Structure 1
């Protein structure tokens, strides 16, 4: 365990895990492009993550656990941000979708619906809907069971 993580609150750990998930998606093609770095820095600021922790996350995002939020609304918000990150890099779209499906399960979306949830998430972010519309559509997708 890193010295950075010893005295963290639960919220700080979740925030670092969330940023690490975004970095994992961004690095799914092996590199970070300018748009991805810009979005990662924006999320870093929103989550109040220090520069030192940010550099550690960028270097080794796999060292940070997913730490899913216990609140369903927060899960949807995190899925929204992860999906937004996914759509930044068109080159690694398929690989990123596979990673996003894994992260959706890690966030607490059930196996029977996680693929439908990710499909709907991608569709909604591509349409550039706001978080309220996104949340409503994800809740519907999460209740539709696959045959």
Structure 2
């Protein structure tokens, strides 16, 4: 563990892990576009990720495993951020959709419903839904 990780709170660690998942999606096609970079920088600021940590995560996002969240709404909000990253370059690749499905499992969505949840998340972002509408729709698709 690097010295920079010793004093991180639980929230800070989760933010870094979540940001690393978003970076993994941005890198799914091996290129970070201008739109993806703008979104990454905006999210890094929102998550209070400093420049050095930002660069470290970009260089080695696999170092940060995806962990589950405590609340269902929190998981949906993170799914919203991830889906926005997929469409940050105005296109959705098959590889990005595949990575999103894997991350959905890591977020704690049921394996038998992950494809439906991920596909709906992408569809909602393509239609430019806000977080509130996104949350309602994902809850409808993920009824258990």
Shorter-chain TM-score category? over 0.9
Partner in structure 2 of residue 42 of structure 1: 42
Hey, which bits of structure 1, 4+ residues long, moved more than 4 A? none
Superposition map of 1:14-93 within 5 A:
14-89=14-89, 93=93
- Counterpart of 1:100? 100
CA distance in 2 between counterparts of 1:91 and 1:29 reads 11
User: How far 1:87 moved relative to its partner?
Assistant: 1.3
**Distance change >3 Å, CA 21–CA 45, structure 1 → 2:** same
Which residue is 1:3 aligned to? 3
Aligned length: 144
Measured in 1, the distance between the counterparts of 2:4 and 2:23 equals 18
TM-score for the superposition, normalised by structure 2: 0.95
User: Which moves more between the two structures, 60-69 or 11-20?
Assistant: 60-69
Query: Cα RMSD over matched residues?
Result: 1.3
Cα drift, residue 91 of structure 1: 6.0
Cα distance, 1:4 vs. partner? Answer: 2.0
